[in-house]
Every structure is written in C-alpha cells, then in structure tokens.
Structure 1
Amino acid sequence: MSASPATHPGAGSHRRPRSSALPTSLGGRVATVGAAVLICAAAMVSGLSAGGDNKSLVVLPLVGVVGIGVAVLALTRFAPFVLLLLGVRSSLDVIKLSGASAGNTATNNASRGLDPSSIVALLFLVASMLWLLAQYSDGRRLKGSPLRIALLSLVAAGTVSVISSEVPGASAMEAMRILSWVMMFIVLEQVIVDRRTLEKVLYAAYAGLLFPLGYTLALMVFGSPPSEVKGSFTRITGPFLQSNTFARYLAFMVVFGVAIYPSLSRRSRYAMVPLLGLSSMFLLMTLTRGAILAAVVGVVLVAVVQRRKGVLVGFAASALLAVALVPGLGARFATVTDTQQQLPGGPETGNSLEWRLKYWTEVLPLANSNPVTGIGLNMTQYQTDAAKQPHNDFIRAYVETGIAGLLAYLAMHALLLRNGIAAIRNSVRGTFEHAVATGALGCAVCFLLGSAGANVMSNVVSLWYLATFSAAGSYIARRNPVTGRVDGLYPAGRTSAPASAHASQAASSS
C-alpha cells in the first residue's frame, strides 16, 4: 500500500485529476453490480426450482456463485483458501447430487462429476497447480520428499491405467479424485513451514468436524438420525451418504485428536473433549468394523508411544461399555464368525470376511490381461458379477493399476510410516511437536489397516484429512529444531529463513 499523495510534500500542487479516478470507481461499481445481479439470478433459479424434482437446478446455481467467490480467494489469498477448504470439505457431501450409489457403474460418470465435492476438488487442483507454478517461477525451491514422490508415482500409475480402461471417463475421474488428496499433501507440505501455520491448519481441520457432529446430533435429537439400513443393522451416516465414509473420517480425527490432546492449552482441551467424545460415539454407531478396529489400534499405538497408561485403562473400560450400550455393536462383530456367507451385493448380515476372501480370488485374475498397467482405475466393478470394488486397496492397486501401481502404493504406506517415525525422532517427548508426530504415525497405521479390508484409496473426504495430518508430521520431521522452520523453502541462494522470520519465531517462543 502506498501512502496518499496528500501525505507527501508538495502534494497540493500535484493533485491527481478528478477524471483519472473515474475509471477505477466506475469499474468497482460495475463489478459490484455484476456480482449482485449474478447472486440474485442464482438465487432466483434455485428458488424457482426448489419445488421441482431436479435437485441439480437448486444446488448448482448456488454452488457456481460460491465457486466464483472461492476462486477469487484462491487467486488472491491461497493459504486462507486452503484453510477454508479444510474447514468445509467434510460438510459438502450433505448436498451430494449423485446419490447413495455413487461409485457404482450406474453413476460413475456424469452425475458424480456434478457433485459439489467434485467441483471443489477440480477447483482446488487448478488453483494448486497455478500456485505451485508461481512458487517455482519466484525461485522457491520445491524440495521433494520421498513420500511426495511415492504419491505422485501412484497418481501416474492411475493415469496410465486409463489407457487400458473399458470406460476411460470413469477411470479418469477416479484418477482425479486420487490426485486431489495427493495434491493436498503436496500443497500443505509447502505451506506448513512454521508452528504458527501448523496450528492454523490443524484448527481448520478440526473446525471442519463441527458440522458433521452437529448435523448428526441435531437429527438424533429430533428423532430422525441420518442412517442407512444394511441387513438387520441400522448404521448412522452423518452428513455422508454411507456409514463407511463417516467411520473412516471419524477414525482419523479421533486418533490424531487423542494424540495432540495432552499438548493443547486448557481452553483448547475444553473444546476438544466434546469433539472426541461425540466422534468416538458416532464412530461406534456406524458399526463399521474395519474403521473401528483401525481406530482402536491407532489410539493404542498413540498411548504406547506417549506412555499414557491412563488412556489404555480408560480405553479398555470404554470398549466394554460400548459393547453393552451401543445398539447392534456386539452383534455386528459377531457376524465375523457367522456360518452364513454374505451374498455378493446383498445385505451385510452374513460372514463378510468369508465373502471378501472369495471375492479376492475372483478379482485377482482380472489383472492377467494387463499385469503391468492394470485394467484401469474403477474397472473392477465393471468386470465382476458383484459389481463391487475389491474391498482391499492392495489388491485394487495391483488389478487396476498393475505392478507399477502396486509398488507405488506399497511405497506410499511404507513412507507414511517412516514419516511418522522420523517426526517422532525429531521432536522432544511431551511437546506439541511430539504429539503431532505421534498422531501422524497413528493415522498412518489406521490407514494401513483400513486399506487391507476396505476401499479407502479414493475416499477423498477422509484422505484429505489424512494428507493434512501427514503433512503436519512431515513438517515436524523436516524442521530445524533451532529455528523451528523448514529449511530449503526459500528463494535460491538463501539457506535459511530471513532475519525477520527468526526474530518473529523467537518472539513467539518467548
């Protein structure tokens, strides 16, 4: 911002002609009027369509207007744009247009591309690529990490698999979904360079938890909780269309929240307690066994690494109470040993473990036709009678993206674990940094276990937050313990942060 001409000596004799200010003023007025007309038009279209059967005409005009505003924010203030997305992404599925069958062969193309979540993902990808190019052109060294290379290799394998796909549009859309959460990690790895930014990112992630919990709790109070019926079980879904999605999202939030809780301020602890309590309760009420078990292992790992015996004791007592108090939880886990096999595509009341084992033997031979690049992302459900994804991301990576994709997926998991371990080693026990590192490792283990029995690879809403916590762990692993910043993210030729950055860091530490 430059000073006003009146503040300079002799400004009175060099006043800007009045007419020169008119174009700027007129341009601002035209832009304001145009924005108002656009908003009114979108509101009219949505309002007139509210009583009709076409839900798209109600949602898309408003999404378009909001999208334009968010696009302007992305081009002018990129970091706040990313924080905004972290805060709202977990709420977007409540206005999903493609319906509960999204991901099946019936809705893999056009309808899924019109979902607000898909539009936001595309907007994020475009804005992120432009921002990364701008950083590179400004001389900022985008120092690579092995984890980033593994993630990009997975995206590359998925993109190449589109060539051999029977339905290229469906495979390309799936590749874009995977790229969106990979890009979130890449961007946050560049953005998080000091503790202040780290805290902002984590605040945004947990602010995004408020709507899913509040929405679910409010509907439960009014007697109509968001849920789906599968066989003899009623499973809550939250703002999502499937209980599995809600469960995976909550699992990451619970594991990381338990890890950072001891290092929070007193005020933040008061806010975190209800978040973790409701998240844990709703996670159990989803009756999603894989996510529940993965979260249990993640929390136990966090307690062991942080040497918190009280958490282990309290957790064991809570587990016993949950089996007794949560309707259907004990019966849901009892079906693992049920002698009645679950029918392909049928209700989840039989032995789903036995069904999975048999389905995997049916899916694996599909890769024989193209073992190098696979049959194409999302193509398993097109080539099996059950019309389902493999329910095992390791098998899915091999069948759909070939040997190259499987190697990239295995490397990604190994490096996620290594990232958490390196962060723990580069931090001091009892500090906030150590808590973040432990949470990153716990979420990596949670993801690994979930991938072994479910379709998590392209579950964007959950993996955006996994990417967030992994990027936080990456910052802890790469930071300089003296300055608290990440070296190598400054203009070429500079090996450390500017003096002003050191001064501000010292002031914040004191």
Structure 2
Amino acid sequence: MSALPATGAAKGSPGRHSARPSVPTSLGGRVATVAAAALVCAAAMVSGMSVGGDNKTLVVLPIVGVVGLGVGALALTRFAPFVLLLLGVRSSLDVVKLSGASAGNTATNNASRGMDPSSIVALLFLCAAVLWLLAQYSSGRRLKGSPLRIALLGLVGAGAVSVIGSEVPSASAMEVMRILSWVMMFIVLEQLIVDRRALQRVLYAAYAGLVFPLGYTVVLMLIGNPPSEVKGSFTRITGPFLQSNTFARFLAFMVVFGVALYPSLSRRQRWAMAPALALSSLFMLMTLTRGAILATVVGVVVVAVVQRRKGVLVGFAASALLAVALVPGLGARFATVTDTQQQLPGGPETGNSLAWRLTYWTEVLPLANSNPVTGIGLNMTQYQTDAAKQPHNDFIRAYVETGVLGLGAYLAMHLLLLRNGIAAIRNSVRGTFEHAVGAGALGCAICFLLGSAGANVMSNVVSLWYLVTFSAAGSYIARRNPVTGRIDGLYPFGRPLSASAPVEDAPTPVASSS
C-alpha cells in the first residue's frame, strides 16, 4: 500500500515531519477554538443548573447537542471511525433515555421518543450514512452487496408504504426511521468490511460496546442498588436499559457470537473475552427473559455443533442446571409456562404469559383484514387493541402492520440471514478465525429467528445494530475471495489500492475438504 503523503514538513527539508501535530494558528482557527470551548461551557452550565430540577431533558440535551456537533464533524471527515465509535457507545445511550420505560406505547410514541439521545444519534447516523454512500457511488466505487441487503430494503420500503394507511402517520414514520437505522448499519458495514483488518476493527468496536453495560451493572450491584424492574412477582435485571427484555436480547447476540469467536482468539484476547461471556451469561439469566435465554441456548448449541466442540455442549448443560438452582426466580419464571392462570391483558407479567400471547394473537390477526396488502401501518397494533401492546410476534406484526408485502420481505430477510451464515461457513476452513465468524453469524441468525417468534424484536434498534454487525461480518466471509482475502471491486474504508500494492492480511490458501 502506498505511503501516506507527508504533512507538516519543514521548508527545505522534504520528507521530514514536524515533531508535534500542527495546531490552528490563523484567526479563524482561534475563533473556532474559542467558540467551541464557549459552547461546551454553556452546555455544561445549562445542564448543571438543571440538575436540581425535575426536567431531565434540560440536563441531557445540552450535552447531547454539543457532543452531537463533534460527532457530526467526525462523520463528515472520517466516516469509518465515526461508525466504529457508534458501535462502541450505542449500548450506553439508553442510560440517559428521556421517554421512560414505557416508550413504545400510545402515550410516548411521538415527540418524547424523538428527543431520546439514541433517536438523535440514529438520525445523525442516517444522514451521515446517506451522504457517505452517495459520495462512494459518485466517485465510481462499486456498492456491491449481498441479496440480504435487498430484503432489508424491501422491509423498509413496505414499512414506508404502510405509513399511507396509518391511523397515526407520525408514529409509523418514526418506526420506519428506527428500522431504517439498523438496516443502514448493515448496508454501511458491508461496504466497510472488505478485508480482515477492517473486520477485526468492527468486531473490536462491537465488543467495546459490551464494556459499559457490564461495568454499569456490576458497579450498581456492588453498591447495593442493582438496575432492575419489578414485573409481577419477579425482580429482573435491566442493566443500562430501561427494560430487562432489551438487556437480554442485547446480551444474547453478544454471547452467541462470543462463544463462536473464543477458540480463534489469542491468549490475551481470551483473558478478556472469558469474563465478558461469563458476566453476560449471568446477567442474561438474571433478566429472567425466557425467550432470549432459550434462543441463546439454541444459538450456542448450533455454534458448538458447527465447530464440533463437544466440550461446549457438556459445559453448557452443566451450567444450565447450576443456573436453575442458583439464579433467584429463574426456575419459577419458567414454571409459569404451565400455570393455569392466564396473564391478564395489559397487566403485570404474572400467570401464563404464553397462553396470553396465543389469545392476543387471535385478537391481532383480524386487524389486517382492512388492508391485507400494505397493512394498518407500523406501530399501529397497540392503537387498535384493548391491551395497547405490540403483537409479541414479529411475523404476525409484519403481516398486520405492513401487509403481505412486509411479511414477504421479513421472511426473506430471515432466510437470507441463515443463508448468509451457512455461506460464510462454507467459504472458510474449520478452525480458522473466518470459520468462527461464519458460525457466529449463523448462531445469531437462529437466535434472532427464535426471538422474533415470541417477542417484539423488529424495532429493538440497540440489539439489532449488533446483530447486523455480526451478519455483515458473516457477509464479508461469504463474499470474500479466499485467496486474496478481499471483496473484489471494493476497498477498505474507501481507499483504493494501487495496482502494485501488496495485499495485506491475505490468508494462506488452504485446500478445504468438501
């Protein structure tokens, strides 16, 4: 790869670099520096004066605004580091959520949810991603991608069309934006992950996003104030999120993909990954989210079978037995599946919630009869049922809210996620890092499929950002040239290689046995 041009060289001394980075010396640069400092101070003062008040918005938004300006500048100048930064911090943003734990119901679907820092970041990412993709296309860079991208865009398109028939177009449009944000993350990462080095950077960033949720939960538990919510007779860990279900789904993808990666990591990386996986598994059990726990178990079993790791299966079975005995409420939580008392619609999670789901689905499905082609509009189920809840089944939700068009796109998305993982496994050699990524992508796809059958995962942006990150990693393995290790026609982070440049990080060709 050609060397970067020298900057800051002294006059008459070509090739020599200045010992220190340059600083703005012009009047404009000084004015900009002073203005930025004043803006930061003003935001801090507004936030500080608001701490004692009841308005949480005045505490959070000034700082979010200033940070947003800095992140926006990064997005416009160095897009790839901007994406990596978002992957590292997205899982931490819900700790300052403004719309409250009830976000998503009819009372908080509009303005309050749009003011959340996570929503602002999603909008910033969408704008920056569109500009970056347009710049790549206009510069002649081929925007190649997998068929999965088409299915994802089809889902977004069906959601956008459903807004036309929506009872509350603003709520449906906001839901389209939320879905588009994780779809766009997949599209962008497919363009950025074009060699092994780029793949490793993205995965490092994704697992950096696990540090704060785990640390935050550990610290609060140590001081005797664990982050939790009470539902019915159960106390469930929430982590930095406002709902235990969100924390569980986020951890599910991290655990499944982490288990797949573990054998291919270096000794130092294993020392970091092992405690992260142990804590993630423990906290997921403490969320008492049955769907996420069962989906994780199936995902890990699939990974172990693909990688032929019998020890993982034995250890996992032993851990499951210990968990039922040691984690408070876990056994009782699963025992409610056989409870004869049905959970009350719209009430706390007591009784048999599975029986409640089956009853609720029979109430939700007829809603699509008014418009079976394009649906009643995204997020509209909760406006048209007495329980005022989403369907708790994303397949039913796709049909009712986006019609047969959306259901077709959603089914195609799941099939292509599975195909993506299988193709990545076939295009790699067992025991390699690439094979581990493929196994992880397949395990996460199965975990998502099972979770979608009994929960509202479609618009759970924070979890799906990390799912599509791992899926984009699998897409790179599936589409790469096994000899060069690159995606033909694409270049890392938009910087084309010269014809004579050596290929970096290319794996040694290995003849695989079919």
TM-score, normalised via structure 2 length: 0.94
3-state SS of the aligned residue for 1:235? strand
Specify the code of the residue in structure 2 equivalent to 1:502.
P
What is the CA-CA distance between 1:507 and the residue it aligns to? 10
What is the CA-CA distance between 1:100 and the residue it aligns to? 0.6
Give the Cα–Cα distance (whole angstroms) in 1 for the partners of residues 226 and 501 of structure 2.
49
In the other structure, the counterpart of 2:126 is 125
Q: Describe the superposition over 1:349-386 as per-residue Cα deviations: whole angstroms up to 9, x where unpaired.
A: 11111110110000000001111110000000000000
3-state SS of the aligned residue for 2:240? coil
Q: Is the 8 A contact 1:487 1:497 kept in 2?
A: no
In the other structure, the counterpart of 1:380 is 381
In the other structure, the counterpart of 1:250 is 251
In the other structure, the counterpart of 1:89 is 90
- Note if 1:104 corresponds to 2:109: no
- Note if 1:300 corresponds to 2:301: yes
Give the Cα–Cα distance (whole angstroms) in 1 for the partners of residues 97 and 373 of structure 2.
35
Which of the residues 5, 12, 36 maps onto 1:7?
Answer: 12
Q: Is the 8 A contact 2:197 2:505 kept in 1?
A: no
Aligned length in residues: 493
In the other structure, the counterpart of 1:505 is 505
Give the Cα–Cα distance (whole angstroms) in 1 for the partners of residues 399 and 176 of structure 2.
15
3-state SS of the aligned residue for 1:6? coil
In the other structure, the counterpart of 2:239 is 238
Give the alignment of 1:267-278 within 5 angstroms. Answer: 267-278=268-279
What is the RMSD of the two structures over their aligned residues, measured on CA atoms? 1.7
Give the Cα–Cα distance (whole angstroms) in 1 for the partners of residues 349 and 256 of structure 2.
26
What is the CA-CA distance between 1:501 and the residue it aligns to? 4.9
What is the CA-CA distance between 1:490 and the residue it aligns to? 5.4
3-state SS of the aligned residue for 2:504? helix
What is the CA-CA distance between 1:499 and the residue it aligns to? 4.0
3-state SS of the aligned residue for 1:229? strand
Change (3 A) 1:405 1:26: same
What is the CA-CA distance between 1:280 and the residue it aligns to? 0.1
Give the alignment of 1:228-377 within 5 angstroms. Answer: 228-377=229-378
Change (3 A) 1:5 1:152: same
What is the CA-CA distance between 1:347 and the residue it aligns to? 1.4
Change (3 A) 1:108 1:33: same
Q: Is the 8 A contact 1:373 1:405 kept in 2?
A: yes
Change (3 A) 1:508 1:77: farther
In the other structure, the counterpart of 2:408 is 407
- Note if 1:471 corresponds to 2:478: no
Q: Is the 8 A contact 2:156 2:179 kept in 1?
A: yes
Q: Is the 8 A contact 1:335 1:350 kept in 2?
A: yes
Name the structure where helix makes up a greater proportion of residues: 1
- Note if 1:74 corresponds to 2:75: yes
Specify the code of the residue in structure 1 equivalent to 2:219.
A
Gaps of 5+ in 2: 1-5, 15-23, 510-514
Give the Cα–Cα distance (whole angstroms) in 1 for the partners of residues 158 and 470 of structure 2.
24
What is the CA-CA distance between 1:504 and the residue it aligns to? 3.0
Give the Cα–Cα distance (whole angstroms) in 1 for the partners of residues 391 and 501 of structure 2.
49
Q: Is the 8 A contact 2:194 2:491 kept in 1?
A: no
Give the Cα–Cα distance (whole angstroms) in 2 for the partners of residues 2 and 465 of structure 1.
37
Give the Cα–Cα distance (whole angstroms) in 1 for the partners of residues 441 and 501 of structure 2.
26
Give the Cα–Cα distance (whole angstroms) in 2 for the partners of residues 95 and 364 of structure 1.
36
- Note if 1:144 corresponds to 2:145: yes
Gaps of 5+ in 1: 10-22
In the other structure, the counterpart of 1:210 is 211
TM-score, normalised via structure 1 length: 0.94
What is the CA-CA distance between 1:143 and the residue it aligns to? 1.4
Percentage of pairs with the same residue: 85
Q: Describe the superposition over 1:6-52 as per-residue Cα deviations: whole angstroms up to 9, x where unpaired.
A: 2179xxxxxxxxxxxxx961010010011011111101110111100
Give the Cα–Cα distance (whole angstroms) in 2 for the partners of residues 306 and 508 of structure 1.
21
What is the CA-CA distance between 1:500 and the residue it aligns to? 5.3
Q: Is the 8 A contact 1:483 1:502 kept in 2?
A: no
Specify the code of the residue in structure 2 equivalent to 1:166.
E
Give the Cα–Cα distance (whole angstroms) in 1 for the partners of residues 169 and 416 of structure 2.
30
